[in-house]
Amino acid sequence: MEMYTPETLISEEEIAFRIDALGKAITADFENEELIVICVLKGAFMFCSDLIKKINLPLKLEFISLSSYGDNTQSSGSVRLEMDITANVEGKNVLIVEDIVDSGLTIKTLLDTLSVRKPKKVKLASLLFKPIKLKHRVTIDYLGFEIEDKFVIGYGLDYAGRYRELPYIGVLNAGN
């Protein structure tokens, strides 16, 4: 396996600074209310673990797994629910934590799936947003960074299963 250091797009420090602000905003918006945080696996695991440390509310953590990409950098156009949450969200405040909103299909599918379960309120936190690719109407309540149309990796995001462990967000250059 080759050792390749991807170019940094967003540094560890920038990510930490932004997450601090997002945590404060979420804490203020839900003021003493209980929250169910749904981490969208696998990509959001690192963002979610850092974000919940900055949320000062009584919360429960759930995991859901959806997949829209194969080993490819293009969306497959269909979303599969691979693993569901175990909590009942009826009448509860829900915060979905996602790594990136690209076409918006994954998050739209998740929002549709959850809305049938009658939560009290559903908010979305996404670390990244690529506005150029958006095809579905999605409101990101808590956004980390808006980025250009580049395939990014690191800080939870992968290319063919690799690079999730990088502490920063990098760009994968052609040929690597």
* Shortest distance (Å) from residue 28 CB to ligand IMP: 26
Distances (CA, A) of 169 to 9, 31, 71, 108, 152: 6, 31, 19, 24, 7
Residue choice 8, 27, 65, 68 for contact with ligand IMP (CB under 6 A): 68
Q: 50, 99, 102, 149: which one is catalytic?
A: 102
Say how far apart CA 154 and CA 85 lie, in whole Å.
25
Q: What angle is formed at CA 88 by the lines to CA 144 and CA 54, rounded to 5 degrees?
A: 30
* Shortest distance (Å) from residue 114 CB to ligand IMP: 15
Between strands 35-41 and 59-67, the pairing is parallel
Residue choice 157, 166, 169, 170 for contact with ligand IMP (CB under 6 A): 157
Stretch that binds ligand IMP, among 57-65, 84-92, 103-111, 112-120 (CB under 6 A): 103-111
What single string gives the DSSP state of each residue in 12-39?
HHHHHHHHHHHHHHHHHHHTT--EEEEE
Determine if 103 is a binding residue for ligand IMP (CB under 6 A).
yes
Q: Which residues contact 44 (CB under 8 A, 6 or more apart)?
A: 97, 98, 99, 127, 156
Our CB check for Mg ion shows the closer of 57 and 110 to be 110
Residue choice 12, 25, 69, 117 for contact with ligand IMP (CB under 6 A): 69
* Shortest distance (Å) from residue 100 CB to ligand IMP: 5
Stretch that binds ligand IMP, among 2-10, 53-61, 86-94, 96-104 (CB under 6 A): 96-104
Catalytic-residue membership of 102: yes
Please give the residue ranges that form the binding site for Mg ion (CB under 5 A).
Answer: 43, 99
Which residues belong to the active site?
A: 102
Please give the residue ranges that form the binding site for ligand IMP (CB under 6 A).
Answer: 43, 68-69, 75, 98-106, 151-153, 157
